[in-house]
Amino acid sequence: MAGNRRFPRAVYWQPKAEYANRDRTNSLSWGHWASMPNLQTSWLLEQTMPESNLEISSRIQEKFDLYFLSLTFVVLGLSIQTAKFGGSLLADGLELICWVCLFVSGMSGLSRMRWVPSLHRAIHAIVTREQYVKEAKVRQEQGEPYVVTRQDNQMPINDFINKAEKGVEVVKKQLAGLENRDTVKYWLHVWGFAAGIFFLICSRGLDPALRITEWIIRSVPG
């Protein structure tokens, strides 16, 4: 039943403790929040609405990221398998640089994929806690003075709001750090792949280009 569900604490990164529904007249509870008609209507609309453009773009972006990461390692593997050294010292050096660039690109992409879920969890945590703060302030205006923890300890609702707001600020700082690292890894992935392809083309095309140039020079009369 909605009245028996608990109100998650908004102070931590991942809520571990929750607030129980002690009394409908003097405590803040998940039941109060979940029983609001406008929230129920929003939930029903979310269940019945067709897929939004944002969801479509997110799904396409996820597919592109996986394809791009797979392509990076495929190109790296094929370049290693088909490499032939000894023809030219310059070509050999370019081939090795290509491998390094592709490897850095692939590992950056893997690391980014590893931390993207944490970034989304941080965003979800911020949105959820801000909603808790908003609802707590509404209940405070209605005269509800306390929230009750799982250990049946009463907490003044004003203290809960202050701790929740501080928790939001902490998570926002963590989110900023995650976003900065994600941006760095993304560009390492993109430019590392581009540089790897460039050096691969130079390595494989150097000897043919030199031979063609030499043939053209010899073909020119006089």
Give the whole-angstrom CA distance, residue 39 versus residue 105: 44
Running DSSP on this structure, what letter comes out for residue 150? Answer: T
Between CA 47 and CA 55, with CA 51 as vertex, the angle to 5 degrees is 115
Q: Note the pLDDT tens digit of each residue in 112-162.
A: 999 988 888 888 888 888 888 888 888 888 887 877 655 667 778 888 888
Tokens 């806690």 sit on residue: 129
Give the whole-angstrom CA distance, residue 85 versus residue 51: 52
pTM of the model: 0.66
Q: Note the pLDDT tens digit of each residue in 155-175.
A: 788 888 888 888 889 888 988
Cα-Cα-Cα-Cα torsion 137, 118, 52, 38, nearest 10 degrees, comes to -20
154: alpha, beta or left, given left = phi > 0 and alpha = psi -120 to 50? beta
Between CA 5 and CA 175, with CA 47 as vertex, the angle to 5 degrees is 70
Instruction: Please report, for the chain, the start and end positions of each structural domain, with discontinuous segments joined by +.
Output: 2-219
